[in-house]
Amino acid sequence: MADPTTVYWMAEFLLRERTISDDLASALFGALPSPSASASSSAAPSVRRAILLRGLSSDLSRPRFSPRTLRLIELLQHHNARSNPLASNAYLSVATYIVTSAPDFASAVSSIFLRRIGGILKFPDASGLASDRMKTVAEEMAAALTDPVLRAEMVGRNTLKEAMEAVRDFLEKEREEMELQPCFLETAAQMSECFIQLFYEIFCFVICYL
Q: Which of 94, 14, 82 is nearest to 50 (CA)?
A: 14
> 98 and 66 in contact (C-beta within 8 Å)?
yes
Give me the chain's average pLDDT, please: 78
Least confident of 17-26, 30-39, 73-82: 30-39
Of the listed ranges 27-36, 78-87, 168-177, the one predicted with least confidence: 27-36
Determine the Cα angle at 160 with ends 156 and 164, to 5°: 155
pLDDT per residue over 76-131, tens digit each? 998 676 789 999 999 999 999 999 999 999 999 999 999 999 999 999 888 889 99
Residue 54 pLDDT > 50, yes or no? yes
- pLDDT confidence band for 148 (50 / 70 / 90): very high
Query: For 63-72, 137-146, 199-208, which range has the lowest pLDDT when averaged over its residues?
Result: 199-208
What span, in angstroms and rounded, lies between the C-alpha atoms of 13 and 19?
11
Express as a percent the part of the chain with pLDDT over 70. 63
Collapsing DSSP states into helix, strand and coil, what is residue 123? coil
Say if residue 53's pLDDT is above 60: yes
More confident residue, 199 or 91: 91
Q: Which of 38, 13, 15, 37 is nearest to 25 (CA)?
A: 15
Residue-level pLDDT at 150: 95
* Least confident piece of the model among 49-53, 123-127, 170-174: 49-53
How is the chain split into domains, by residue range?
Answer: 73-177
Please give the Cα distance from 96 to 81 (Å, whole number).
24
For residue 102, the model assigns a pLDDT of 95
Confidence of residue 55 (pLDDT cuts 50, 70, 90): confident
Instruction: Please tell me the number of Cα atoms within 13 Å of 99 on its side-chain side.
Output: 31
